[in-house]
Amino acid sequence: MEAWRAKVERVGNLNYPEKAREKGLSGALILDVALRPDGTVEDIIVRKSSGHRELDDAAVRIVELAAPFAPFPRDFLDEVDVLHVTRTWQFMNNYRFSSGR
């Protein structure tokens, strides 16, 4: 999971939404990402909005840009068909992005 988080944050910081910068937007949202065993994305759902459509859309776009992710470990394949990763995504005032919780 740490590699997944690091990749998403790297892509998110490189692709911080320009409209959020222009408007001075910040906020947190809860995003559910469904991953297939090969590391491709099956679905992305905003579970709780940041209150700013620009940020919600940017979070989805960041996942799409970061995909595909590493395939599941072999010992994991017998147990999981689709892995749901639910995290709190933060777009901060200093134009930094975090998927830390």
Asked whether residue 101 is assigned to any structural domain, the reply reads: no
Among candidates 30, 2, 29, 26, which has minimal Cα distance to 16? 26
Asked whether residue 98 is assigned to any structural domain, the reply reads: no
Asked whether residue 99 is assigned to any structural domain, the reply reads: no
* pLDDT tens per residue across span 69-82: 999 888 888 888 99
Task: Give yes or no for a contact between 39 and 3, defined as CB atoms under 8 angstroms apart.
Answer: no
Number of independent structural domains in the chain: 1
Asked whether residue 32 is assigned to any structural domain, the reply reads: yes
Asked whether residue 81 is assigned to any structural domain, the reply reads: yes
Asked whether residue 66 is assigned to any structural domain, the reply reads: yes
Q: For residues 27 and 44, give the distance between their C-alpha atoms in angstroms, rounded to a whole number.
A: 18
* pLDDT tens per residue across span 83-93: 999 999 999 87
Asked whether residue 53 is assigned to any structural domain, the reply reads: yes
Task: Give yes or no for a contact between 38 and 68, defined as CB atoms under 8 angstroms apart.
Answer: yes
Task: Indicate whether this model's pTM tops 0.85.
Answer: yes
Boundaries of domain holding 59: 2-93
Angle, helices 2-14 vs 53-66, to 10°: value is 120
Q: What pLDDT does 101 receive?
A: 54
Asked whether residue 57 is assigned to any structural domain, the reply reads: yes
Which CATH number does the domain housing residue 26 bear?
3.30.1150.10
Q: For residues 56 and 69, give the distance between their C-alpha atoms in angstroms, rounded to a whole number.
A: 21
* pLDDT tens per residue across span 8-59: 989 988 998 888 889 999 999 999 999 999 999 999 999 999 999 999 999 9
